[in-house]
Structures are given as C-alpha cells and as structure tokens.
Amino acid sequence: MGNSRRDFIKISTLGTAGTIVGSKYLLAQGQQSILENPKGPWMMPKDLERTPTYCEVCFWKCAGWTYKNANGQIQKIIGNDDDPNSNGRFCPRGTGGVGMYFDEDRLKHPLIRIKNADGTQSFKKASWDEAFDYIQLKLEKVIEEHGPECIALFTHGSGGTYFGNLLKALGSQNITAPSYAQCRGPREVGFIATFGDGLSSPEPTDIRDTKCMVLIGSHIGENMHNGHVQEMSDAIDKGATIITVDPRFSTAAGKSKYWLPIKPSTDLALLMAWIHVLIYEERYDKKYVEQYTFGFEQLKAHVKHMTPEWAYGITTIKPQVIRETAREMSYASPATIIHPGRHVTWYGDDTQRLRAVAILNALLGSWGRRGGFYIPDKAKVPGVPHPPYPKPARTWRDAMGGKYELADLALANGVCDATVPSATTDCGIKAWIVNGTNLIETLPNRPNTLEAINALDLMVVVDTMPMEITGYADVILPECTYLERYDSLRVTQHREPTISLRMPAMTPKYDSKPAWWMAKNLADRLGKGDYFPFDSIEEELDYQLKKVGSSLEEMQRIGVKKMDRPYDDLYYKDGEEIEFNTNTGKIELYSTSLEEYGFDPMPKYTAHPEPPAGYYRLIYGRAPMHTFSRTANNPNLTDLMDENTVWVNPKVAKEWDLKNGQEVYLQNQDNVVSTFPIKVRVTERIRWDSVYMVHGFGHSKKQLTRAYGRGASDTELITNIMMDPIMGGTGMRGNFITFRFNKA
Amino acid sequence: MRYAMAVDTKKCVGCSDCVVACQTENDVPIGYCRDWIVEVTDGTYPQLELEHRSERCNHCENSPCVRCCPTGASHYSDGGIVMVTKNKCIGCGACIASCPYDARYTHPKGYVDKCTFCIHRVQKGQQPACVAVCPTKCMYFGDLDDPNSDVSKVIKKRKYKTLIPEAGTKPQLYFLI
Ligand code: SF4
Ligand code: SF4
Ligand code: SF4
C-alpha cells in the first residue's frame, strides 16, 4: 500500500470481497503451514484444582492461583502466599483479572486490512496462515529494501520477550516500551547518576520498615502498586510518619501526618529547600555522607540561598512546615524514604527533580539501609540458547543526533520520531509490531504518533482487545489472555529472589493464540527458527527450570519458588567499603556524568509556565481499579468504575457555574477539544489552579462496548510536551485546559 | 459466639478489592454487590479530612430484617450471622425496606441476597474473602466472645464507631477511627 493514507477502521466493518492491501506482494496463500504444538497440550496435569499464574493486569506481576468452579469455568484469582510481590493478596485489578478472559469484546480472529472496490478500507477475517503470509512478505520486503533495523517493536506485556527475540534475531534493536520515556525513565537516570544504580521494578523501597516516607505526587493507594500499598499500610500501623506533597488531596494525603498542598510544578524548589535545611541545620547523616558521597561541599554552596523562605515564595508551603518536615525525615533517618515515584515525566526537568530526590536520600543515609532502600536480589535463570544476534546497522539513537545519550533504555517516542519522515530525525523505520500497548493512548502528542503510523509499510498489532491502536493496523493478531497461556518465567527483583510460573487455566477462547507461538511461527518463516530452538514453550520452560534446580512439573504445583540469597547483603553493613558504579566510585551529590554531558551537575529550580486566565493545569493520575487504558472495558472492573470525572475546586465551579455531574468538554491550550464530554466532580480535594482526571478513559473505539465514550481521554489533551534534555522523557504536565459547554 | 468485623478507616484506601473479591467468591452478578465503599471528605482546601469505609451487612444483633421476614428465610445462623435461606425467600422485599444500611439486594434469580460473612469459608477456618484479599489488611474478622480474636483485640485497642447506632439494631461492623 506504499504510503497511502491509513484509515482508522472500526473492527466490526468486516469486508469480504476486497483485496488485501498490498496484495501484490502476496504469494499464494498458505505457503507454509502453521506449527502446532507437536506433543499436544504438554504436561497439563489434570489433578490441579488451581493453576499458577502471575498477573498481567499491571507491571507488578503478582503471582497467584486461578481457581475454577465445578463447571470448569474460571471462578476467581487469588494471590500466592509465597509471592513477595503480593503476599497472597491481589489488588482489585488482579482480582478482577477474570474479566479479561470473559470480556466478549475480545479480539477473536486474525484480521487483515483490505481495500474495497469503493476505495474504502476495512478488515477481513483471516486464517493464521494468511495473516502470517502477509506479515512475512511485508517484513521480507522491508528487510530487503531498507534493512532489518527498520522494524521496530513497541511492547508492554509479557509477549515482548518473544517478539523481542524475533526482532533481535532479525537484526533490529529498536525495541521499546512506553513505560520508560513516558513514565519512569527520568527516575532511573537520576538515580543512576547519583548512586550508579537505577531502581527498576518493584522499587526496592523498604517501606515495611520505614519510619518516615515522603511521597512527591506519588499517590500510593490510588496507584495500586500492590506491594507498596501493602507495606505502606503496615508502616502506618507501626506509626510511621507519612508526608505527602500533592496539589490534590490524594488518598495517600488523607492517610498522612503532613499534607503539603504544593503549587503544581514547583516540587523541585521544595526538594532543594529540604536539602538546604538538612545541610544547614546539620541534620544529615555525617558519617554516611563523609564515607560514601562525592561533592558535599559543592552541594552545600549550591543550596546556600535555597532557604525555606525562598521556597515559600515559589511553592506556597510555609517555611516552618518545610523545616518541620525536614526534621521529621532526619529524626527517622536512615529509616526514611523519599519515594522516587513511578510516573515522573512531568515538566521536562524531571531527571533533575529525581536527582534532588536521590540526593535527599543520600543525605539521610537511607540508600542501602533498613527502612530506606534495600538492595534487591534476582534469581539467575539462564536464557534460551540461540545463535548470536546480528549487529544492527543503526538504531533509533542515530536519529537523535547525539541527544539523550544518558537514556539507559530505548525511548518509545524516540522510535516514533525516528519513523516520522523528516530531514533530521528520519531513521527509516518502516514496520512496527505493537504488542499489548495502546500507543494512541500512551504516547503524548497524538498527531505525531499518527504521522509516524501513516509513514509505515506495515503495522502489526498483537493484543487481546480492540484498542484504538488496532484501528490503524494492517494486521491484527488476537492474543489469548494471560489466563490462557504460558509465558516466560517471572524473574523479578525483591528482598529474596523468586521465580514464578504462568500456565494456562483454560484453552484459548476463540481463535486467539499466545505471543510465543506467533513469534516462533514468524521466526521460522523468516529463516530465524534457530532463535526459537524448542518445539513448545513447555519444553523451553522445563529446560530453563531444570537449570535452576526445579522443573515445570514442580512449578505447576507451587507457582512461586523462593531461591537462595547467597549473601547476607540486604543492607550495607555499618562502615562497609562500597564502590558505587559512578565515575568517582562514590554517591555523586555532584554528578560528574551529567557535567560531562553538559548538564547541570546539581539540580536547579526553574519556573515553568503557568495556566493563563481561565485555564487550569491538567493533572492526571490513577484509580485503584484500573490500569492505564487497558482495563477500561473489563466487565468486572468497569463495574467498579466505568468513567472518569474532572475534579474541579468549588471556587472554580462557582466561577463557571458548574454543577456536580454536569457534562462538559475540555479544551486545551492548543484548542484541542475532548472527543467526549466528561462529568464534573466538584471537590475540595483539588487546588483551584488545577483540574484532575483519572487516565485511561474516553475510548473512541465502538467495539469497546463498555468503554466507548465513557469519560474523556487525558492523552488527547496532552499536546504540549516538555522534553527532558537529559534522557528524552516526555513531560506531560504543562497542559492547561478550560471548559466548553458544547463541542462545536 | 458472636462474629463481628472491624474496618480500619485509617488504612482503607477505598480500592474496592473487597468488592470484586466478594463478587468472584460468592458469584455475585456484575452490577450487584454485597459490600461497597463509602468515601467521605470533610473540610475546605487545604484543611481536609478523608475517610474510606468498606461497608456491608452489619449482622445486627437486633435485626429488623429477620424480624420482618414473613417466611423465616432471614434468620440468625452460627455466631449471629444474618442469613437468607434462598429457597424459603419469596422475594417480597420487606427486609430490603427494613434495613437501615441498604445492605440487601434482589438477586436476578429472584431471592434476596446479602453478605454472609462468608460463612462457607469461616466454617472451614478461613477468613472472609474480602478480609483475605484486602491489600491494606484493614479488616479484622472473628469472634467477639473470644478475647484473643483479631477483632476483639483491635476493638479493645482502638477507638471505633458503628453506623446509625440510633436505629437500635446493635450492628456488628466496627469502624476504627
Ligand atoms: S498490582 Fe494488581 S494488577 Fe498489578 S500485578 Fe499485582 S494484582 Fe495484578
Ligand atoms: S480492599 Fe481493603 S483497602 Fe480496598 S477498599 Fe476494601 S477494605 Fe478498603
Ligand atoms: S464477608 Fe464475604 S459475603 Fe460479606 S462482604 Fe465480605 S466477601 Fe462478601
């Protein structure tokens, strides 16, 4: 189809007689037959009353059990007591994960985009053979004409392991997830610059034993990062002091001893003032700072003028409150956590803000200490043997002209930008495989995303649900849900290393298939079968498990296996010699690596634009019963919350004459108007200069029957992106909205 | 024996896990629930207070629903748990009207349904499903006649309130404040 316009297709409009778009490249269909699991459903014990899984509703990956009822239907999912991520308790989304399986709006068959006689485009139901034929030929053409590095993978799900293997086997490193540059990337870079190590997931915050925890805009309890919610509750029970900084009276703020209702976008000034107080009141951990850190004197001079009085004028937080809270942190230290948060791409200076967070933790001596940050461990599970990966001729980084070199992972927006044809950034990416991420809702600046998609020769979307992104695909591959498949072992870091197994509780519904199987079939067709050396995923898992002294059979019965932590090194020992992974081998209060790349070695507060009159800063966040936009159609979870609302302070409501429950459209500073209206929630819980909405609603795809048109999408209103010059994060909190009473 | 439950409003985050866990445990159809969340905000910005409560049947000691049930379907079971015998229930709805807590609903199959304190689990020595799932561990269940039960201990230690005590129903759901 060359560069012809790609129409957004509603999945229900199934064409029948049309020609497959780009069919001139297609050989006779079914040129290669589909691999079936040669041994049939291998080692699926019949006597299990429950089958192990780990949850796929969010990235926390809690391990649990799927139970069936007497009719052999899935009844419930319950946490596994041996799992450190969940401690036997799933969050509402995980408990409601059953709804993913039962959702009748699921993708049911492979679909291929066709051109009808009247010039319109629609999707045609296809066999897996047809779908693979189509993808194979298109990929072969891209590889031949442009090179294998012109294929990119966007993934946010377990299938990424297998499609990632396929991409690397073909010779592309353009593998990315929006969880980095749209979410936690600045935090990783800020912490790496300071401690030489990032945080990864689950973050090794020792909340269980903390005496004081500071949350900066992080709304634990509304974000259900399960282990953290649980441990925060334990800490509250034990009398820990919680300090929450948020322009919104979040649930966490409601549980806190101190709530600092900060003026949005000024957090960095508050952090610097806290650093000032700790240093000038000599409340930092002197021994720790002396032994482990580099650049204390420079930092001291740098923050000299950043007094609480200075910060008051910026943040509206009273100097005495700034001092008092800094003292609380110091009394509790080292059992104090300045929580790094997770979604931190706010204002474009996010790496520097997270640097300030890291510096505070360093001054309090909480890194590597009980009640601060523990040192996580991870089981070492050997990978699957395969030939070496070819070295790609170029990657998305080449399109960036030397920018964002400190990014330790690929930028989803970078790959997207590298796809948009342009004189400066075009990297000639021609094909996207998109697995389990609804890029339309996850990448900010939607017009840019659509432009990139329009420039593609092929887009394959692998998903369980007809998310918006599927409407732009050339081929849609229906993935079965996590309750119907095996996946790679979960090997995540924690206090003690564990591995856990996901196995199917049910056979896949409809004509859906697991990602492993799709990637292997494509690899075989593209001559890369060596990279998938096993005939079935069961054999692959059994091979890996036997290498670590377990087996598939054992894991099917226990679900989670605790592995040895060979050394007693959860915390640093008193006075222990430590070499940090930084240039100086010390914790860098003064960052030599940032300096090397031409950035400020120590964080500086800069003012960010403020909403013009009649506009309000758009703040978005999470609700405990939903994960981004991916759960918005889940029948069990929509039952708990089926739309978002826009939170408006009563003063603002009065000014605009807004009533609770009234529907309004939102319009941003770039005159983008929300596709759907959203209900107003008049509440004291939000500042008068901001509005708040939960992310992930306002779906525009009719096939999502429960989600369509419910609430509004924050993503479509996020068109102003404040780029982080250090690592390319997309700051999204510089958007301002106003109210409209009708759409036109 | 006197079964009771305490919910710590200082820890509950209003996540609704208890609601969905109850639905999947007890085959409560989507669109209905045996337990639910109440969120109360007090004050004006920035002097605010927030309370989350996971509410359900209070298993009252003096239950208007049991009293008014014409067929005896609503009754007290072990430890004072208020139960409805499905096949005796004619779905008249008298109990629904009498409950000051709005804890009952008519199941699409025609009978009245409500929280059972998960008696089927309790009899096996397990915790109720909502208590077992709660990520904040903010709920305590047990026998008030046993001074060593979780619920007795926490009620002794903490301040609490009950809902609509003036209705005289002697509710057995305690909210720690
Ligand atoms: S936190 Fe909740 S949604 Fe995420 S993995 Fe755990 S149970 Fe699943
Ligand atoms: S599960 Fe626990 S924290 Fe969540 S709403 Fe219910 S009682 Fe509250
Ligand atoms: S005790 Fe059982 S029936 Fe009652 S609300 Fe909890 S889960 Fe539902």
pLDDT digits (tens, 9 = 90+) for A306-327: 999 999 999 999 999 999 999 9
**Residue A72: which CATH number?**
3.30.2070.10
Asked if the model's pLDDT at residue A21 lies above 90, the reply is: no
Q: Let me know whether A257 and A191 are in one domain.
A: yes
Rounded CA-CA distance B8/A232 in Å is 14
| DSSP 8-state assignment for residue B140 | E
Rounded CA-CA distance A626/A634 in Å is 9
Q: Let me know whether A92 and A114 are in one domain.
A: no
Q: Let me know whether A217 and A346 are in one domain.
A: yes
pLDDT-derived band at B161 (thresholds 50, 70, 90) equals very high
pLDDT, position A200: 86
pLDDT-derived band at A24 (thresholds 50, 70, 90) equals very low
* Residue A291, SS3 per DSSP: helix
Asked if the model's pLDDT at residue A147 lies above 80, the reply is: yes
**Residue A365: which CATH number?**
3.40.228.10
Q: Let me know whether A275 and A368 are in one domain.
A: yes
pLDDT, position A125: 95
**Residue A696: which CATH number?**
2.40.40.20
Mean pLDDT calculated for residue range B106-123: 95
pLDDT-derived band at A183 (thresholds 50, 70, 90) equals confident
pLDDT, position A11: 53
Residues near A527 by beta carbon (within 8 Å), at least 6 away in sequence:
none
Q: Let me know whether A17 and A157 are in one domain.
A: yes
Indicate yes or no: CB of B17 within 8 angstroms of CB of A91: yes
Boundaries of domain holding A418:
1-31+105-167+392-479+514-523
pLDDT in tens, A242-290: 999 999 999 999 999 999 999 999 999 999 999 999 999 999 999 999 9
Mean pLDDT calculated for residue range A205-215: 97
| DSSP 8-state assignment for residue A223 | B
DSSP H/E element including A414: helix A412-417
Mean pLDDT calculated for residue range B49-67: 95
pLDDT, position A29: 40
Residue A607 lies in a domain: no
Indicate yes or no: CB of A639 within 8 angstroms of CB of B136: no
Owner of token pair 């799992």: A83
pLDDT in tens, A647-674: 999 999 999 999 999 999 999 999 999 9
Pairing between strand B82-84 and B36-44? unpaired
**Residue A160: which CATH number?**
3.40.50.740
Q: Let me know whether A199 and A300 are in one domain.
A: yes
Asked if the model's pLDDT at residue A100 lies above 80, the reply is: yes
Nearest chain A alpha carbon to B138? A233
Q: All domains of chain B, ordered by start, with CATH?
A: 3-176 (3.30.70.20)
Indicate yes or no: CB of A249 within 8 angstroms of CB of B48: yes
Rounded CA-CA distance A644/A713 in Å is 9
Pocket of ligand 2 contains residue B134 by CB under 6 Å: yes
pLDDT, position A421: 66
pLDDT-derived band at B43 (thresholds 50, 70, 90) equals very high
Asked if the model's pLDDT at residue B55 lies above 90, the reply is: yes
pLDDT, position A447: 85
pLDDT, position A25: 42
Residue A611 lies in a domain: no
* Residue B174, SS3 per DSSP: strand
- Nearest CA among A35, A29, A20, A25 for reference residue A522: A35
The answer to whether residue B45 neighbours chain A at the CB level (below 8 Å) is yes
Residue A695 lies in a domain: yes
Residue A381 lies in a domain: no
CA A457 to chain centre: 27
Residue A115 lies in a domain: yes
Residue A212, both tokens: 């004081």
Residues near A491 by beta carbon (within 8 Å), at least 6 away in sequence:
A378, A379, A381, A497, A499
The answer to whether residue B134 neighbours chain A at the CB level (below 8 Å) is yes
Residue A120 lies in a domain: yes
Report the share of chain A in percent with pLDDT over 90: 77
Q: Let me know whether A724 and A647 are in one domain.
A: yes
DSSP characters over A173-207: --EE-HHIIIIIHHHHHHHHHHHS----SS--B-G
Phi, psi at A318, each rounded to 5°:
-60, 140
Rounded CA-CA distance A179/A188 in Å is 12
- Cβ–Cβ < 8 Å for A325, A260: yes
Beta strands (DSSP E) in A543-595 are 560-562, 587-588
Q: Let me know whether A319 and A412 are in one domain.
A: no
* Residue B155, SS3 per DSSP: helix
| DSSP 8-state assignment for residue A335 | S
Asked if the model's pLDDT at residue A297 lies above 60, the reply is: yes
pLDDT, position A422: 60
Rounded CA-CA distance A157/A687 in Å is 35
Rounded CA-CA distance A212/A738 in Å is 38
Rounded CA-CA distance B91/A679 in Å is 36
Alpha-helical runs (H) found in A103-184: 128-146, 160-170, 178-179
Rounded CA-CA distance A198/A301 in Å is 27
Rounded CA-CA distance A215/B21 in Å is 29
- Nearest CA among A523, A538, A515, A522 for reference residue A160: A515
Pocket of ligand 3 contains residue B83 by CB under 6 Å: no
pLDDT, position A488: 95
Q: Ligand 3 centroid to B19 CA: how many Å? A: 8
Mutate to test the interface with A, among B17, B130, B138, B140 (most CBs of A within 10 A): B17
**Whose CA is closest to atom 1 on ligand 3?**
B117
* Residue A403, SS3 per DSSP: coil
- Cβ–Cβ < 8 Å for A572, A368: yes
Count up the domains in chain A and report the number.
4
- Cβ–Cβ < 8 Å for A428, A150: yes
Q: Let me know whether A707 and A681 are in one domain.
A: yes
Nearest chain A alpha carbon to B25? A76
Higher pLDDT, A415 or B62: B62
pLDDT, position A409: 73
Nearest CA distance, A60 vs chain B (angstrom): 14
Lowest mean pLDDT among A146-160, A316-330, A396-410, A605-619: A396-410
Q: Let me know whether A79 and A19 are in one domain.
A: no
Rounded CA-CA distance A65/A52 in Å is 5
pLDDT, position A640: 93
Q: What is the mean pLDDT of chain A?
A: 90
Asked if the model's pLDDT at residue A16 lies above 80, the reply is: no
Residues with a CB atom less than 6 Å from ligand 1: A 55, 57-58, 60-62, 86, 90-91, 93-94, 224, 226, 627
The answer to whether residue B154 neighbours chain A at the CB level (below 8 Å) is no
Cis preceding linkage at A202, omega within 30: yes
Asked if the model's pLDDT at residue A42 lies above 70, the reply is: no
Q: Let me know whether A87 and A110 are in one domain.
A: no
pLDDT-derived band at A4 (thresholds 50, 70, 90) equals very low
pLDDT, position A300: 98
pLDDT-derived band at A46 (thresholds 50, 70, 90) equals low
Residue A396 lies in a domain: yes
Residues near B26 by beta carbon (within 8 Å), at least 6 away in sequence:
B34, B116, B118, B129
Rounded CA-CA distance A449/A471 in Å is 13
DSSP characters over A421-476: --TTT-----EEEEES--HHHHSS-HHHHHHHHHT-SEEEEEESS--GGGGG-SEE
Residues of A in Cβ contact (< 8 Å) with B138 = 233
Q: Let me know whether A260 and A318 are in one domain.
A: yes
- Cβ–Cβ < 8 Å for A627, A58: yes
Residues of B in Cβ contact (< 8 Å) with A687 = 45
Residue A70 lies in a domain: yes
pLDDT, position A32: 46
pLDDT, position A39: 46
- Cβ–Cβ < 8 Å for A109, B34: no
Asked if the model's pLDDT at residue A691 lies above 80, the reply is: yes
